Amino acid sequence: MAVAQNSSPAAPAKSQNSESKSAADKLPAPNPNLAPPRSDHVDASALPADAGESSSNDTQIDLSPPPDDAKEHPQGSALLKDEGSFGDTSTLGGTATTEFHPWDPHKAAKDIEVGDYYFKRKNYIGAESRYREALFYKDNDAVATYKLAVCLEKLNRGDEALTQYESYLKILPYGPETAEAKKAIERLKSPAASATPK
């Protein structure tokens, strides 16, 4: 019986060796030259004649609008007019864009932070300047709008403050300062507020 036990494990080992041998035969031979290709050793005479031209010249992209573009976007041509004709606002529904403002929320947040610093030290003019600058870099910012309104109210500029409080409520009607903004609007619209000297 010992002979039978020794002979059966030898048979699978023999088949495993033949399988591993056939797998090794299928692998490609290792490449002895493993250096990366270098562009500084190019033989210029081996290059084709048109090698100095860009391959992108062969693939020019058509940038013209589709044939039905004017029908699909009737106001599109008005937006593409040159800068000299931007004064005509009738084609754009009464609004025209003549300049772009930078959008930088990080700078706006820093301006609000500096404005808060000035506000705490009762430098309301400096705080107003920083809040306005924050709105320049991030227009319709609810926090800057509300703080600008409070600052303008401290400077006894009630009409401007009223406008900013109303803007805050348009931007964020259910925001954290909604109740205070509504109270300030009522206070500024009351007859006593309009009787205060400016």
Q: What is the pLDDT of residue 70?
A: 75
pLDDT of residue 16: 54
Indicate the SS3 state at residue 28: coil
Domain count, the chain: 1
d(CA 157, CA 139): 21
- Give the integer Cα–Cα distance in Å for 136 and 130: 10
What value does the CA radius of gyration of the chain take, rounded to a whole number of Å?
38
Q: Is residue 79 part of a domain?
A: no
Nearest alpha carbon to residue 158 among 130, 133, 190: 190
**Which pLDDT does position 198 carry in this prediction?**
47
pLDDT number for residue 117: 97
Q: How far apart are CA 178 and CA 149, in angstroms?
A: 13
> What is the amino acid identity at position 54?
S
**Full residue range of the structural domain in which residue 119 is found:** 105-195
Q: Is residue 57, in this structure, part of any structural domain at all?
A: no
Task: Return the amino acid letter for 175.
Answer: G
Residue 63: per-residue pLDDT: 74
Asked whether the CA dihedral 104, 107, 111, 112 is positive or negative, the reply is: positive
Work out the number of other CB atoms within 10 angstroms of the CB of residue 92.
13
The pTM for the full model equals 0.51
Q: What does pLDDT average to in each consecutive run of 10 residues of the chain (198 residues)?
A: 48 52 61 68 68 63 77 66 46 56 91 97 97 95 97 96 97 95 95 59
CATH number at residue 126: 1.25.40.10
End-to-end, the C-alpha distance of the chain in Å comes to 117
**165 assigned to some structural domain:** yes
92 CB-side CA count, 13 A:
16
Q: Does 95 map to a domain? A: no
The pLDDT assigned to 7 comes to: 47
Question: How many CB atoms neighbour CB 26 within 10 A?
Answer: 6
